[in-house]
Each structure stands twice: as structure tokens, then as C-alpha cells.
Amino acid sequence: MAGIVDNKEVLELSGYLKTMDSRMDNLKHSSDAIANDLEKGNTALSIKKKALARDLESVKNDMSQIKQDVRTLQKVILQLIAQLKSSVKSEELERFNKRIDLWGPENLINRNELDKISNEL
């Protein structure tokens, strides 16, 4: 049996539905705003990630170059050490100086004598 519909209940139900519709619209707008913010955040994050990846690659390249430079410097240092080992030692230099002092080449001839001999020739 069909009941009698009370206008007051219909109006109350209509008001309730309008309130629910309004709340649903607000939730939809909030949801859209959150999705938009997430999309912007993801885009910014992606851009930042790409920039950091480029920076990391640059640092890796710099590190590789530095390692290569260090290896080159190590080789040069080893070559210098080898050359220094084969050069004259201080004891040998002292012995050489003593021999020169004993021989005394500066006493063999002086400047005037050299000029006199060269003028005669």
C-alpha cells in the first residue's frame, strides 16, 4: 500500500541531498587540487632528479679525470726519483771538489798570462 508522502519529509530529504551534493562537489574540487599538486610535485621532482643525475655524472667524470691526473703525477714522481737516484750523490760531489782543489786549475795560468799567450799567437 502506498503511503502518504509528507511534503515536510520530501523537503528535508531534498535539503539533505543538496547538502550531500555540495559536500561531494567540495570533495571533488579538493581531490582535483590534491591531484594537481601531486602532478606539479612529481614534475618538479622529476626535473630535480634529472638535474641531480647530470650533476652526479659530472662529479663522476671529474673524479675519473682526477684519478688519471694522480696516476700521471705518480709516474712523474717515480721518474724524478729514478733520475735523482742516478744523479751525482753529495759524497761524490765532495770528492770531485777535493780533486779540483788538489789539482788547482786556477793556479795553472792566470788571466794576464792567458792574454799574453793569446797576443803572441
pLDDT digits (tens, 9 = 90+) for 32-59: 999 999 999 999 999 999 999 999 999 9
Residues 78 and 94 in one domain: no
Residues 121 and 77 grouped into a single domain = no
Cell of 116: 799574453
Task: Give this prediction's pTM.
Answer: 0.47
Over residues 13-25, the mean pLDDT reads: 92
Summarised one tens digit per residue, pLDDT across range 53-100 is 999 999 999 999 999 999 999 999 999 988 887 777 778 878 888 888
Q: Within this chain, do residues 118 and 99 fall inside the same structural domain, yes or no?
A: yes
Q: How many domains does the chain have?
A: 2
Distance of CA 77 to the CA centre of its chain: 25
| pLDDT score for 8 | 84
Please state, in angstroms and rounded to a whole number, the distance separating the CA atoms of residues 4 and 15.
20
12/66 same-domain check: yes
